[in-house]
Each structure stands twice: as structure tokens, then as C-alpha cells.
Amino acid sequence: METVEMNSVSLKRPHSEDDLDEIKRRKISENSKTGTGQSIETGTEQSDKSLLEDTKNEVIPNEEGEEQEDEELEDSDEDGDSESFADMMKHGLTESDVGITKFVSSHKGFSGILKERYSDFVVHEIGKDGRVSHLDDFSVPVDDEVNCEDPSEETFTVLSDDDKQRLEELQLLKNKETSVAIEVIEDTKEKRTVIHQAVKSLFPGLETKTEDRDGKKYIIAYHAAGKKALANPRKHSWPKSRGSYCHFVLYKENKDTMDAINVLSKFLRVKPNIFSYMGTKDKRAITVQEIAVLRITAQRLAHLNKCLMNFKLGNFSYKNHPLKLGELQGNHFTVVLRNITGTDDQIEQAMHSLREIGFINYYGMQRFGTTAVPTYQIGRAILQNNWNEVMDLILKPRPGAEKGYLVKCREEWAKTRDPAAALKKLPVKRCVEGQLLRGLLKYGMKNIISAFGIIPRNNRLMYIHSYQSYVWNNMVSKRIEEYGLRAVPGDLTLKGATAVHIEEGDVDNYTIHDVVMPLPGFDVIYPKHKIGEAYKEMLVADNLDINNMRHKIRDYSLSGAYRKIIIRPQNVNWEVVAYDDPKIPLFTTDLDKLEGKPLPVLPTDGKFRALKMEFSLPPSTYATMAIREVLKMDTSIKNQTQLNTTWLR
């Protein structure tokens, strides 16, 4: 992917931070046996439900036959020093490049550091019933049904690492072996039963039998139903009285939701698509959200707490339904802005304005990428049906901060236009560039549409949704500039699920918080004032017809939607605290509470000040845009790296 994660969005005067020390300090599991170091970019808090209807529960699985080392390479490939990174980011995007230009509050801005530590940004999911998800219980539910006990703890330890490796290769059909033989060292019926249970529980799709060979007992594992069994967890061992889905709360630190699910699926040896969730959560944060998984026991999930870093699983329950994207009511944020410079009066004005007026509901910077080729440009080329430009924009060299292997791949592509040669420069094949190159190898340079189709569908749709977001940001800035913070005749408001125009005689019945603006697409209406014309002008300039957003390829037909232009956060609270040590946590997390860790003791006259704030936001809104309104600072990586590079050194 064409993205780079910023280790902190530091606003003017940051402290330096030793991230390695942070990682060591925040290991979740005291007795961790293994862990992962994958790194992917910070994600959005949640995409529009309307934009996600076509990508329900889709998770990008690991490519078949691809080795785990790819994920490690994504983290380990560090190129250049901090100065070169800051220099490269001069080519990145600023807020004004994507239409983010206005503020709604009147206070004077001040500086602070957002996400100096990932533990300074905590997200709790709010379910559709209004309940905030918390990790506060590690217990495993007990079934009422008799004789349906879960496997014993010994099930997870009876197989050696070598046995597990051989069984996994057999399960995934990675070699030509048709079976794996495991010698029973302690030949008792009880021991054989545990081995049978372990193989069947840990490796869905495998069956077992006992054989005598040369006077010794062996458990023979073999495939029951080929590849199909992998996608369908065994049904005969699941109690009828138990719901088919195990729901649990996932507490994760410094991990993206999809990355976390890929890790869980790897350790459970199942396909990622048996997991479902209501929304994706930030990487550089501590997040708490509900996950559902098909026919995996709570006991088996709880066992992962002993062998994974950066995750904790708890609050288990069995239900008859999965989760769906967009079902959540929102997210509750607990955020610390460190080393703030604002006066008490400025802070009070800023937070009162956030609570009473709110902030412009812009799409945040992570929606658009970080290099000189924004994702919305690729989306525009897709909508224009200009496939040569799509290919060129994705693969051509560009200035900006990127992994070294991507730079070499792009250089090779520019020099040879040979997909095979360019692909050889990529140790990581799951990135968009690698997937497109594989598609070009398979379908040829004259069939770019099919080659592009190899990229997972939700990634492809990300580009056109980015273009929608780009148009919306620009139009809402024009709307605020033209009409200010009041409803005017010709604006749009929602009545149920239907958008209607505000008429002259009814305008006094509405406030700015009732006004919505359309995301361009088919079956939407536009404001009956200057902004409606501005939409048309913008799309005409991009060679698109606002009245015909249906694409000849159905996937790329833009369905429109409506989005509130001002969001007023709920449950807004704040306090200013003093501190001396930049590494000390300023509040306790769910895990801290479970482990009985006391509240941090803070000095009354510390040399630094921090603003602790809490607020709840609905889906499809960006906490970074709320914080931007408080600080009145550009949140783009380009701006922050030019303001200061000390945090990168």
C-alpha cells in the first residue's frame, strides 16, 4: 500500500520518544511465547456504512502459499534517516490539498502532541444498543448441554512444535504428503484420546485414526475433505444448544483490526473470513471492540492470551449471529494531548466550542495516502474508465516516503514496463503494487481491468471512496465559506432515510446540525443553491457526469450517500494535568484495571501540561478532525514533519 505511518502527530513542540522502549514497556502478556511485529498504516475510525455495503465482512487473507516472513519484512525495511524522511514528506499532502480548510470555532489555536505514545489514544466501540465495549472478564462460559465439554488444557500442549508444523503443512496442502504420523510415547487410551482431540481441534479439516507400526502406536492424521474443510469448521462436534458464533471483546495495542484478525486466524489455523466485526479501528492506539468468529470455542480463543503479545481476548459469549460492518453506534475516545501550550482560558474556550458547536465532519488525512500520488487520483481515473492511468498511477515512481523495496520496484517498472522484473523487486507480494503486477502477468498488459481485479475488492473500492471523500471535503468547505454556520434555503436535511430540501418558510426550524451534504453518486440530490452548482462544476472539470455515476463495471458504480456537515460530539469531558515524565501513562486502561494497576500518581506542579479529553462520535467520523478543531493545526504528516523533525531523530 502507498502509505506510511507517522509515529506521532506532533504539533509544534514535541518531546523525543524512544519507541523501542515503549514497545518493551507495553508487552501485554507477561509469559508471551511468541508474537508478531507486523506494521500497517493507521486506519480510519470507521467508513461510511453506505460506502461499505458492498464490502461486508471482507478481510484480506494471506495469499495462499506465501510465507509469514513477508509480514516481518514490512516492518524491518527501514530506509533513510529522519532528515531524509522529513525531506521526502515535502512531497506529501497537506489538509488544503484535500479540501480541509475551515474551522468553526473562534478561539485561538495552541500546540500539543497527539499520539506521542500510542497509549495516549484509546478507543472503545459503542454497540448498536448504546453499550460501550470494555474488556473486564476473562472467564470462559460453560455449556448447559451434558457431555459437550471443551477440550482440556492438555489439548493445546500435547503436540510438539514439530508435530504442529507438519500438521499445518498437511492441513494447508503445502506438500505432497497424504498423512502425518505422530508416535504415541505414553501409550494409554487417555493419551491417545488427547492427541486425537488436539489434532481435530487445532487443525480443522483433518481426521485421525490409530495404527500399529512395528510394535508402536501412531496417531495418523489425514485430510477428510480437501481444501473445502478449511473454510467450514467441523460441525459434528459443536453442541446444538450453543450459538454458532463466539462473540468476544478484543483489546489490542498498536495493531490494526485487519492485521489483528490475520494474526488470530494464523494462530487458530483458520481462514480470516470466519471473523466478523462492526468497524475497523486505529493501529497506533489502544482499542477495544467486539469480534465474532464462527464455531471457535471460547476456551480456544482464551488460550491465545498466553501466547500473543499486543492482544487480550475476553468477555466471551455464544450467539446465533455474526457481526456486520456499520452496525455500531459509534466510538468513545479517550485522548491525551501532551505538552500543550494553551492557556487555561484558551483550553476552556476550545473544549466548550467542541461540546456546543462541534467540528466540520471532514474525512481525515488517512483517507488519501501520504505520497505525491493521492488515492483520490486513482479513484478518479477508475471512474473515468482510464485504465492505463490507473496502472500508471499505482506503479510509477513518485516522490515521497516509501519502503525501499517499493522504490526499487517502481524504478524497475519505469525502466522495463516488465511485470515479472518489477515483481522480483518486491519481497512483499501482498501490497497493492504486487497484486497488480501479478494480475498483469496473468492477464497481460492489454487487459488491465482484469489485472486490477486481482486486488481485493475492498481495496479497489477504497480508491473511488477516496475520490468521493475528496469531493465532499471541498464542497463542505465551500458551503461553510458561502453560508456560515446556519441553515439556509436550498440546504439538504434528512427525514428518515430521505434527503429533502429546506424551504424558505421552514428555515427557522433547522440548525446547522441538521444540514447534510451529498457524497456524489447515483440516486442523490444536490443543494438548491450555489453549492449544488459547485458540485457539477467540480465533476465536469474531472470529466465526469454528475447525473450518470453508473460505471460499466458494476463494482465501480458510485452509490451516493448523505453526510452531516457538522458533528457535535457527545459525552465531552476534559481536564488539564501536570506531569514530569513523558513516558508515564496518564490514565489506566481496561487491561490495567484487570491487572489491578493503580492510577498514575501525577505531580501538582509538573513541568509539562497535558489535556485529557473524552468524547463519543458516531460512525464515519474522524477523531483527528475533532482534535484539529481544538488545536487549530494542520494534521497532515507533511505539515508536522516540516514544523518539527526532532521526534523523528
pLDDT at 25 over 50: no
Full DSSP string of 326-350: T-S-EEEEEEEEES----HHHHHHH
pLDDT for 115: 82
pLDDT at 51 over 70: no
Based on the residue annotation, tell me whether 129 is a catalytic residue of this protein: no
> 65: Cβ–Cβ under 8 A, 6 or more apart, which residues?
174
pLDDT for 420: 95
pLDDT for 30: 34
Q: Model confidence at 339, in pLDDT bands (50, 70, 90)?
A: very high
Q: Which of 48, 282, 491, 634 is catalytic?
A: 282
The β-bridge partners of 290 are 249
pLDDT at 4 over 70: no
- Dist CA 499 CA 513 (whole Å): 14
Sign of the torsion formed by the C-alpha atoms of 584, 590, 593 and 594: negative
pLDDT for 70: 38
Which of 238, 345, 325, 320 is closest to 281 using CA atoms? 325
Full DSSP string of 569-607: -EEEEEEEEEES-TTS-SS--HHHHHTTPPPPP--TT-S
The mean pLDDT value of the chain amounts to 81
Place of cell 458492498: 54
Lowest mean pLDDT among 43-52, 115-124, 264-273, 574-583: 43-52
What does the pLDDT look like over 534-569, one tens digit per residue?
999 999 999 999 988 889 888 898 888 999 999 999
pLDDT at 358 over 50: yes
Q: Which amino acid is at 79?
A: D
pLDDT at 475 over 80: yes
pLDDT at 99 over 60: yes
Q: What is the mean pLDDT of residues 442-454?
A: 95
pLDDT for 338: 93
Lowest mean pLDDT among 105-109, 120-124, 144-148: 144-148
Q: What is the mean pLDDT of residues 304-317?
A: 91
- Neighbouring C-alpha atoms within 13 Å toward the C-beta of 16: 7
Q: What is the mean pLDDT of residues 270-280?
A: 91
Place of cell 441538521: 514
> 503: Cβ–Cβ under 8 A, 6 or more apart, which residues?
489
Phi, psi of 169 (to 5 degrees): -65, -40
pLDDT at 36 over 70: no
pLDDT for 40: 24
Here the cell at position 286 is: 489502544
Here the cell at position 301 is: 480463543
> 325: Cβ–Cβ under 8 A, 6 or more apart, which residues?
49, 52, 55, 56, 57, 277, 278, 279
pLDDT for 120: 93
Q: What is the pTM of this model?
A: 0.77
pLDDT at 165 over 60: yes
pLDDT at 359 over 80: yes
Phi, psi of 575 (to 5 degrees): -155, 150
What does the pLDDT look like over 518-530, one tens digit per residue?
999 988 999 999 9
- Dist CA 285 CA 594 (whole Å): 19
Instruction: Specify the 3-state DSSP secondary structure of 390.
Output: helix
The β-bridge partners of 223 are 206
- Dist CA 341 CA 609 (whole Å): 8
Q: Are 556 and 488 in contact (CB under 8 A)?
A: no
Here the cell at position 492 is: 439538504
